[in-house]
Structure 1
Amino acid sequence: MSTAATKPRLKTSAMIASIAGDGQATRAAPFGNALVALARERSDVVGMTADLGKYTDLHIFAQAFPERYYQMGMAEQLLMGAAAGMAHEGALPFVTTYAVFAARRAYDFIHQAIAEDNLNVKIACALPGLTTGYGPSHQAAEDLALFRAMPNLTVIDPCDAIEIEQMVPAMAAHHGPVYARLLRGNVPVVLDEYDYRFELGKAKLLRDGADVLIISSGIMTMRALEVAKTLAHDRIDVGVLHVPTIKPLDTATILREARRSGRLVVVAENHTVIGGLGEAVAAVLLSHGVTPAFRQIGLPDAFLDAGALPTLHDRYGISTQAMADTVKTWLR
């Protein structure tokens, strides 16, 4: 038998690949289930999508509340305009699509129809950053940079299933437009070990460390926690500051942790290094005269390859082992 025949194949799904590792605990469709729970308490909640109900877990809401579910077809600009109209009439629309379609195809409609009027529209978008192997047409590597620049818009990048479940009612309680990155399907459970509670606009120190502080959001917090455990074997003490709200940024907590002397500060994000969390944190530190040793881990300023997610995460330096190796290099 040839080597090629016996070599294990890395598997990735076209559209519903999970980012969970082998044996990692997951919860199915936390966004869809949380939205159903919210809708049972609030009759103004409606679900809207552009032909992507199944791929954003909104189909669960559609099954529970078919009369409050709006399928707009493959027309993301129409979707955002209709959501604005719903909000004007007193509804609370939760809108789903892919992050690339919201950030690139419907940006002007979100800007003019939703954000300018500060409407109560909640936009939850799947496939953020490098969470699909479909290549540049579906990889939203620059969505945070675009949406951070939009006035009135709150921006969230959740870590795991627990945070998504807690994020949904918090989005509803906040008046004004919200953009949230969405993990869907079988979503990892990570934050149960840390007595975590999501608070809009608040960063949380999940673990302390004397040598390195990793400031992270989204799936990179999961990676950062794995890196901390990995580097502990090398007697490198890593702290992890989770920043789920990208805008408004919790500057007070970031400054408090970054001011502690003797630590390398690393910002890790599933986003291009241009315009995302890394540059936001760097601006905060510089404007307040806080100057620790500072590095970024993120996606390059490039159109990314297509392929299996484990391969791509290694290639672009956002896998656990790649991150651990990079941090050790910086500490030499």
Structure 2
Amino acid sequence: MTLASMVRKYEPRRVPEVKVATTAMIASLAAEGYDTVTAPFGAALVDLAKQDDRIVGLSADLAKYTDLHIFAQAMPDRFYQMGMAEQVLMSAAAGLAREGFIPFATTYAVFASRRAYDFIAMAIAEENLPVKIVCALPGLTTGYGPSHQATEDLAIFRGLPNMTLIDPCDATDVAQMVPAMVAHPGPVYARLLRGKVPSVLNRYKPDYQFQLGRAQTIRAGRDVLVISTGIMTMRALDAAEVLAKDGVDVAVLHVPTIKPLDRETIMAEVARGGRLVVTAENHSVVGGLGEAVAGTLLQNRLAPRFGMIGLPDAFLEAGALPTLHEMYGLSVSKVAEKIKGWL
């Protein structure tokens, strides 16, 4: 390390001032007014495992923080605590899959995507094994800085052959994705919302059902089409309510499966024409939903007015989650402000 690089490393970061205050390092993602469901992933996995003896659970010392502790308590003989060794976690899951089991391996998204990638690629994806990798703290859902913020996980796994990617919006998505993952014959990487998870989609679409590989219109609108995934579908729906007061009619197309991408539905919605098209994701603007949608549209000669809402190509600050969402443009007010500025 050179003297100049040492100076850069240890000099104070310049953080823009934002008028949001909270003492909580990690705050609830639930927007005000939404009901919540406690540990929908763990509960859904237990219910399904009662019907399918092939399901087993593994964790790298993070069962409590991925809601897998519920499974461990209900079925201790089918739970494996692998310790803080993510490479061993993925290798063991691959071995269990080879023996006919359907392993659910849980950890934090940063540890799966950064520490264990080669093991996932070689032991799981290349062999097309039915390992289900379910990871908490995706994107900017923690305030603990770059060591725990998986802002590039979708970009990393999008390039991996055979891997299916899921980014759920709410408790309904989380609970319903579990049986869909089991039914899918290959490997799956799913982002996880844990703890008290908001219930959003059924408020706007009472008959909503998660479908692997399918995008669904949650809200119709004539002026703007927001193509969103994960928690940003919730933000987009809330921003649409704000913009409606200013006479701006916003449609929201929820894309819970990033790979395979539902290109047909996306193109059909965009082809209706006349609307500003915006992608929204809790992920870096590099390599995620926005670039996947943009590539799809250009390859099919569709060129609408287009904008991307996502995280910058940078290591993010640590701090209180509401403050960070405001700082990096993921809050409802910032989403509404950006869309209105593009119109």
Pick the TM interval, shorter chain: over 0.9
**Do structure 1's residue 157 and structure 2's residue 167 form an aligned pair?**
yes
Equivalent residues, number: 323
Pairing 1:29-44 to 2, within 5 Å after superposition: 29-44=39-54
Q: Secondary structure at the match of 1:253?
A: helix
Matched residue, 2:276? 264
In the alignment, which residue of structure 2 is the partner of 1:286? 298
Match of 2:156 in 1: 146
Alignment partners' CA distance in 1, 2:276 and 2:291: 16
| TM-score normalised by L of structure 1 | 0.96
Structure 1, unaligned stretches of length 5 or more?
1-6
- Match of 1:53, as an amino acid? A
Partner in structure 2 of residue 297 of structure 1: 309
Q: Please point out which of 167, 174, 177 is paired with 1:167.
A: 177
Partner of 1:3: none
Letter in 2 for 1:236: V
1:328 aligns with 2:325: no
Alignment of 1:106-255 (within 5 A): 106-193=116-203, 194=205, 195-255=207-267
Give the Cα–Cα distance (whole angstroms) in 2 for the partners of residues 23 and 78 of structure 1.
42
Shift of 1:261: 1.5
Q: CA deviation at 1:192?
A: 1.3
Check whether the contact 2:25–2:321 (CA below 8 A) recurs between aligned residues: no
Q: Which residue of 1 aligns with 2:36?
A: 26
How far apart, CA to CA, are the structure 1 residues paired with 2:310 and 2:20? 28
Cα distance in 1 for partners of 2:337, 2:24 equals: 25
Which runs of 4 or more aligned residues in structure 1 lie more than 3 Å from their structure 2 counterparts after TM superposition? none
Q: Secondary structure at the match of 2:264?
A: helix
User: For 2:24 and 2:83, how far apart are their aligned partners in 1?
Assistant: 26
Deviation of residue 24 (structure 1)?
A: 2.5
CA distance in 2, matches of 1:22, 1:132: 19
Question: How many Å apart are 1:9 and its aligned residue?
Answer: 5.1
Cα offsets for 1:248-287 (capped at 9, x unmatched):
0000000000112210000000000000000000000000
CA distance in 2, matches of 1:141, 1:328: 25
1:178-209 per-residue CA deviation (whole Å, 9 max, x = no partner) reads: 00000000000001121210000000011111
Matches of 1:8 and 1:153 in 2, distance apart? 38
The one-letter code matched in structure 1 to 2:43 is: N
Partners in 1 of 2:219 and 2:334 — Cα distance?
21
Per the alignment, residue 86 of structure 1 pairs with 96
Q: Give the Cα separation in 2 of the matches to 1:36 and 1:13.
A: 30
Whole-Å Cα distance in 2 between the matches of residues 329 and 117 of structure 1?
47
CA–CA distance in 2 between the matches of 1:24 and 1:13? 21
Q: Deviations over 1:194-244 (max 9, x none)?
A: 121000000001111111000000000000100111100000000000000
Letter in 2 for 1:253: T
**Shift of residue 23, structure 1, vs aligned partner:** 4.1
- What's the TM-score, normalizing by structure 2? 0.93
Residues 69 and 98 from structure 1, CA distance in 2 versus in 1: closer, same or farther, beyond 3 angstroms?
same
Which SS does the other structure have where 1:326 is aligned? helix
Residue 50 of structure 2 aligns to a residue in which SS? helix
**Cα pair 1:12 1:133 within 8 Å, conserved:** no
Specify the code of the residue in structure 2 equivalent to 1:170.
A
Verify the 8 A CA contact 2:218 2:254 in the aligned structure 1: yes
* Superposed displacement of residue 13, structure 1: 4.7
Q: Secondary structure at the match of 2:280?
A: strand
The one-letter code of the counterpart of 1:258 is V
Q: Hey, what does 1:4 align to over in structure 2?
A: none
Q: Does structure 1 residue 62 correspond to structure 2 residue 72?
A: yes
Q: Structure 1's 262 and 155: CA in aligned 2 closer, same or farther, altered over 3 A?
A: same
Over the aligned positions, Cα root-mean-square deviation in angstroms equals 1.2
Tell me the equivalent position of 2:83.
Answer: 73
Aligned-residue offset at 1:297: 0.3
Deviations along 1:130-174, one digit per CA (max 9) or x if unpaired, are 000000000000000000000000000000001111000000000
**Residue 27 of structure 1 contacts residue 161 of structure 1 at CA under 8 Å; is this kept in 2?**
yes
